[in-house]
Amino acid sequence: MLRRIFASSPAFLRCTLPNRAPDQVKPELAAAIRRIIAEDRIVIFLTGTPQEPRCGFTVKMVDMMHQLGVKYSFYNILEDDEVCEGLKIYSDWPTYPQLYIDGDLVGGYDVCKGMLLSGQLTKLLKEKDLL
């Protein structure tokens, strides 16, 4: 009973969320994450897959990529809790999906949408000969 109360308390949850830096991801996990990010020039970490998305933002990200007509690789973060939680620390980005181009984090869906609307995303892709 008490444990449930404590476990439900936002204050308690905050205590279990220490400030951590990207370098505080275990070396083996960091290496695994780097390998995934390096698998392709464009890599997207999705909640689910393009065919079976599990989150509205993943749907929107996949639609955006389809609209742009770019080729990309994806990783379903629901398949590995360690990668899912480790990448948030590694990238210093708390949400999914996450888009990487040539190893660099571009951002989540909101950032990508903002860049698309301002023309920056198309420009970036063309500069890198990906479009």
Partner 1 sequence: MFRMTRLRMAITAADIEAKLRNSEKLKPVHGVKVVDVSGGCGSFFNITVTSAAFRDRSLVQQHRLVNEVLKGEIPLIHGFSLTTKVE
Q: Does 106 bind partner 1 (CB under 8 A)?
A: yes
Q: Does 21 bind partner 1 (CB under 8 A)?
A: no
Minimal distance, residue 52 CB to partner 1, in Å: 19
No. of H helices and E strands in the chain?
7, 4
DSSP alpha helix (H) spans, 9-119:
10-15, 27-37, 56-68, 81-90, 109-118
| Closer Cβ to partner 1, 104 or 129, answer by number | 104
C-alpha to C-alpha distance for 49 and 66, rounded to whole angstroms? 14
User: Would you tell me how many other CB atoms lie within 10 Å of the CB of residue 69?
Assistant: 8
- Which listed residue (66, 110, 122, 126) binds partner 1 by CB under 8 A? 110
| Closer Cβ to partner 1, 32 or 108, answer by number | 108
- Which listed residue (3, 27, 71, 94) binds partner 1 by CB under 8 A? 94
User: Would you tell me how many other CB atoms lie within 10 Å of the CB of residue 99?
Assistant: 23
Binding site for partner 1 (CB under 8 A): 1, 5, 8-10, 13-14, 17, 19, 55, 57, 92-95, 105-108, 110-111, 114-115, 118, 120
